[in-house]
Structure 1
């Protein structure tokens, strides 16, 4: 008798399981569809970055393959979205010359950027006796002699999007800011600050998410 009851319950469970799984997948699909529709309607836009200025404390080639750099940059960031907030969970900034990193990573503290909100960061970026390709050291000396140095300030990090109470997963953020610095040029228009020189740049950055 007990065996028949067990078989009966097992039969009912087998019939119930596919329905349960089907209901779960349908509910998950509906939720994902709603999130996707909301995302499309809101049309999220990438944040805007502008490299406002760079203050050069040191930019020196001590050997053909050794560069020392100390600078402070000011980066302006704005959220163009009216209904979407941005979590900057992790972000590192560094300087590159001829596609080669010439400073260490400098971390920018995590921050939340609300709708239409603005943030301004002024981190120090430095690298002491950083080994580079020999041709980069020679090229930097030549650029200084010619009166202008072109480098790129890069920011790499992870961001999340916030829509109402919904928060997305993490996305990689890549920001590239060209910095044309008239270093050593008599018409550089730089502002002397002690032993340093501040250059106004106001250069738009490319942003990839």
Structure 2
């Protein structure tokens, strides 16, 4: 009598094993995708809840005063001057505070940096207004002939049009949580009316643009 146990050919057995492995791999990928999707949804919900609670608002920077002192532009296109600015930083947030860990300030004329200064780090609590008095020194800065000619013409008119740039590193604080350093760039352009190169009495306030 023939043996009822009939073994499968080796090729058929190998194909069945590959089929089972492929099915298991597809199930694993499907479960992984479901878990990742669930995590993304939870993260999105958490971010939305945090946003609704914190209600973050954009910082406001303005330049409210400016003057130029000891202005000297030589015939060989070298500039020496001291530029003074009153910069207002306003944090309108109710729950978000800011650490300004470093602040570099530049004065630019016709896309040419002519003066620089640094501001001491400070902490700005929520709904706070901080006034920064900045003096930027131009020490024998070499200018091109065309820029020198334009600047000399502005001087004769009693007004100098500048761009004020602030390059800062900030950290956000919400409750006891603090973020990592982020780069906050602020540019205020154009800044007009440095009248008579000495007084800020007729200065027109300038709102600044921010990029975080």
The whole-number CA distance in structure 1 between the counterparts of 2:142 and 2:47 is 47
- The alignment partner of 2:148 has SS state of helix
Q: Structure 2 vs 1, CA of residues 182 and 157 (structure 1 numbering), >3 Å: closer, same or farther?
A: closer
Provide Cα deviations, 1:105-143, integer angstroms capped at 9, x if missing partner. Answer: x11111111110111111211111111222111110112
Query: Computing the radius of gyration over CA atoms, which structure comes out larger, 1 or 2?
Result: 2
Q: State the alpha-carbon separation in 2 of the partners of residues 131 and 32 from structure 1.
A: 53
Distance 1:38 1:118, change over 3 A: farther
**Which runs of structure 2 are paired with 1:34-183 in the superposition (5 Å)?**
36-41=47-52, 42-104=54-116, 106-177=117-188, 178-183=190-195
Residue deviations 1:176-207, cap 9 Å, x none?
123102544xxxxx8xxxxx423433221112
TM-score scaled to structure 2, two decimals? 0.72
Higher mean alpha-carbon deviation, 34-43 vs 113-122, is at: 34-43
Instruction: Quickly say closer, same or farther: Cα 1:34–1:133, change in 2 above 3 A.
Output: farther
Rounded Cα–Cα distance in structure 2 between residues aligned with 1:117 and 1:35: 28
The count of corresponding residues between Structure 1 and Structure 2 is: 174
Backbone CA RMSD of aligned residues = 2.5
Distance 1:133 1:94 in 2: 18
Unpaired runs of 5+ residues, structure 2, are 1-31
What's the TM-score once normalised by structure 1's chain length?
0.73
Quick one: which of 192, 199, 206 aligns to 2:209? Answer: 206
Structure with more strand by fraction: 1
